[in-house]
A and B are shown apart, each in its own frame.
Chain A
Amino acid sequence: MESPKNTTEAREYVRFSRLNRLLHVIMIVSFMSLALTGMTLKFSYTGWAVMLGHIFGGFESAGYIHRLAAVLMIGTFVTHLIDLVRRKHREFKSWRALILGKDSMLFNKKDLHDFRDSIKWFVGRGPRPQYGRWTYWEKFDYFAVFWGMMVIGSTGLMLWFSEFFTRFIPGWFINVATIIHSDEALLAVGFIFTVHFFNTHLRPEKFPMDIVIFTGRMEIEELERDKPAEYKNLIETGTLEQHLAEPYPPIVIKAIKIFGWTALSLGFSIVVWIIYAMLFAYR
């Protein structure tokens, strides 16, 4: 993209707020750190884990990074919750409107229909559904984090402050917590680096990378194509205009792409290492 045009076609639709974009970046960083340090321990019997251990400067150092990243992620989570409260005060009259409204993240009947229609479209038995503001897979990805934070976070805290927690819970809970923490993390890591990556980047129409989560901006044609229901709604309510903004300069795009590629390749590597460990070295 060279010189910005003054027409509406050159401007792009902003679908993610600045705070959300920032939080997602922080979440990527902390998630990567958690995944790398955690998998080093979980698969400590493999050669790549020993190498990673050395890179992190030893298991104690890796442990510090893991806990720091966990704190970061908890911070991100709390910030998002605070932001939700602010949004509610700003834009919605009540919690009910936020939670049960049209653009809510909660699953609703439309998602059920969309899911059914998508499957039909996949197998060629129907047209492509008219996806709205949030598709069902995006909502799943969103709540997966909630689920993960709850399960992995709570068990993680139990493991971190085991001397404290065992004042009230029996010692063998720590063993149970270890299994839950470890296996849920495996699920999260595996899911994010495969399904989520596909949903967002590896889908052939988006391939190689969709940077909307970082820029917040997507082309209007893309919006029309991907989320027709949302586009229709914006046109009908005449609110499309207020969500438009200038695209970022190329240098910024480049930086974002570098970051994106780094994260992608790291995530992919982790998946490969995990598959290797589970198939060839499992103990």
Chain B
Amino acid sequence: MVEETGKHFGLLITLVLLCLLVPASSLSQENTDCFGCHSDKSLTGTKKGKTVPVVVDEKRFSNSMHATLTCISCHKDLEGKEFPHDEELKPVDCGICHDKEQALHSKSLHGNAIARGDPLAPHCNDCHGSHEILSAKDRRSPVSPMQIPFLCGKCHTEGTKVSQQRTIHQDHIIANFSESIHGEGLLRKGLIVAPNCASCHTAHSILPHTDLGSSIARKNIATTCTKCHAQIEVVHRKIIKGELWEKEANVLPACVDCHQPHKIRKVFYSQGMADKDCLRCHERKELKASSDGRSLFVKGEDIGYSRHSKIACSQCHAGVNASHVRPCETIQKKVDCSSCHAEVGAQYVKSMHGQLEAKSDRNGPTCKECHGTHGVLGKLNPQSATFATNIPDLCARCHREGQKAATRYTGGQHEIIERYTESIHGKGLMKSGLTVTATCTSCHTAHGVLPLKDPESSVNPKNVPSTCGRCHHGIQEQFERSIHTLQIGKTEKKLPVCSDCHSAHTISRADAQGFKLDIMTKCGRCHEDIAKTYFDTYHGKVSQLGYTKTAKCYDCHGAHDILPISDPRSHLSRERVLSTCQKCHEGATRRFAGYLTHATHHDPAKYPFLFWTFWGMTSLLIGTFIVGGVHTMLWLPRALQMRRQRKKNSQ
């Protein structure tokens, strides 16, 4: 009986093992099993109803990154299935192993498109491939650095369905990129560390720039760029086109504000030179130019105190070449201040000073004549030559009588500096130290000085009201609604502006005695006849005596708000004339205002009563004198005779 148990036991074991093996062999779907059919090039299947080839290149698969994996480790839905398996397979979920990347991709623009069912949306295999996935380090991989532009370009090129049918905010991306410095470095110079699309957009977390988590969101751009351009703030130009690069202190601006995202231009920055290299020679006091012997000594501390203290020598003296032993020998041009101060430079070029300088006229001042060279101080610094109270002296250097600008001047203004100093503006500025008073630059502008005849000039009569109106705004408003402007006073004659009555440089207080009397001659310059008639009236005669406490032109007509009488707002309109008289004549009534303020007895047509009264009285006077005079003349000899007679009688 024992031998029979052993024989049964052995059989049992074999059966169990066979049973185990059978399912194992039938369960072990080896890749070879798959390749048995799928290596056939003619093998087709259906995908979404369409017939597609389902051949898999066994060689390439075995060279790929996934060579050690089984088919069913990715095609999970085929696990344990019998042959032949279902045709419609679920798409492979790469996130089974690559969960991190899958998570990023799902949240990305591409992932959302897939979720929406967008047919153009890229799946993992669209970029990486499916069965022939190579490492990114492999040059042949579509996701290797040099291939990425072409990979992305498959969809993001002009003419593709994606570029035509989807909203892509940039165009000609690949074309621009290939021309840019990044593209040239990557594609032409083979610099594989140069940025490709994924460097900025990331590989899997591609988000639109409007998404705050995107690597290309505005506030993230600096972080993205500084991944390579680390510490850019140390070397980036601080002043660009006259403005600070860093708008906020220590906050990098969005690079794409200046550097177009795909068109990053090619700029070659010259080799820099440190200040101390310059000063090695230039801080020697005896240093002189060989051409004309002028001193080339630069006091380093001048720059330290100046506004340019943070700017390197070579940033202004841009022509230096550090590779030369004497770097300054390559300097061809004078310092061009407008390379940073662009707007001011543009103004200056158009100005009279700039025009003179362009003609190489030595009388034309350049930037350094007024602002200095190394010790440039800001205009709010009282030590600066351009500080408000110092400006008259600055301009006087040339524009004082006898100095070089005054001797060439052909206009009508003389003794400008002397007069300005005595004027109300000059006194306010220089005696009272009121820095907001009008100085030369307030009216003539600092960099845009132009002669009066130039229509762009701030002192051209057309522009004078707005120039003065920069401070005297209320008066400008009044004046521009008054009759002395073209819109209201439609006339061919020359209309006055501020400087005609107030003068240009001898502006005095309007309540000063001299000004008040002077203004009447000013009005009289244009309004000759009517000014003469004013002087025939009581008001006029009193003012001729030199007293101002009487009605003068502007007391009745207004000063800046003169309007035609027909306008009800005029001081002399029918509605308002009585109140104008009542300013001095409190008890005046309507008829009082019937007084003829500009009446003259010389005009029989306009004022017949006055004319005839005058001639009546004059005739009476003449008649009386004729009679009295003749009587006296006739009496005279007789009277003399009587006197002689008396003398004779008394002797």
Contact = CB atoms under 8 A, between A and B. Distances in A.
B96 interface: no
A60 interface: yes
A283 interface: yes
The 8 closest A-B pairs by CB, nearest first: A171-B594, A183-B617, A122-B634, A163-B587, A195-B628, A166-B592, A171-B595, A44-B544
A156 interface: no
B533 to A, nearest CB: 11
Given A44-B541, A59-B545, A203 B635 contact: yes
A121 B541 contact: no
A214 B603 CA distance: 47
A194 B636 CA distance: 13
Contacts of B640: 204
A266 interface: no
B632 A195 contact: yes
A190 B626 CA distance: 12
Interface in B603-651: 607, 609-610, 613-614, 617-618, 620-621, 624-625, 628-629, 631-632, 634-640, 642-643, 646
Contacts of A249: none
Interface residues of B, number: 50
A49 B543 CA distance: 12
B535 A45 contact: yes
Nearest to B595: A171
A26 B401 CA distance: 62
B549 A205 contact: no
B496 to A, nearest CB: 25
B630 to A, nearest CB: 9
B284 interface: no
Interface in A2-35: none
A205 B643 contact: yes
A204 B594 contact: no
Contacts of A283: 532, 535
Contacts of A159: 538
A226 to B, nearest CB: 10
A205 B642 contact: yes
A40 B594 CA distance: 26
B605 to A, nearest CB: 15
Interface in A117-138: 118-119, 121-123, 128, 137
Contacts of B538: 41, 159, 178
A174 B595 contact: yes
Interface in A39-66: 40-42, 44-45, 49-50, 53, 58-60
B585 interface: yes
Contact of A166 (B547, B594, B620): B594
Contacts of A168: 591
B588 interface: yes
A167 B542 contact: no
A159 B352 CA distance: 59
11 contacts: A59-B549, A122-B634, A162-B595, A163-B592, A166-B594, A176-B610, A187-B617, A194-B625, A195-B625, A205-B639, A205-B646
Interface string A172-192: 101110111001101100110
A41 B541 contact: yes
A280 interface: no
Nearest to B599: A175
A58 to B, nearest CB: 6
B589 interface: yes
A163 B585 contact: yes
Contacts of A250: none
Contact of B587 (A118, A164, A176, A178): A164
B593 interface: yes
A166 B588 CA distance: 8
B572 to A, nearest CB: 14
Contacts of A49: 545
A183 B544 contact: no
B17 interface: no
Given A59-B549, A194-B625, A195-B632, 18 more contacts: A42-B541, A45-B535, A45-B544, A60-B549, A121-B638, A128-B638, A159-B538, A168-B591, A171-B592, A176-B613, A179-B601, A183-B618, A184-B620, A187-B621, A190-B621, A191-B628, A195-B625, A283-B535
A49 B545 CA distance: 7
A41 B542 contact: yes
A99 interface: no
A171 B638 contact: no
Contacts of A60: 547, 549
B596 interface: yes
Contacts of B632: 194-195, 198-199
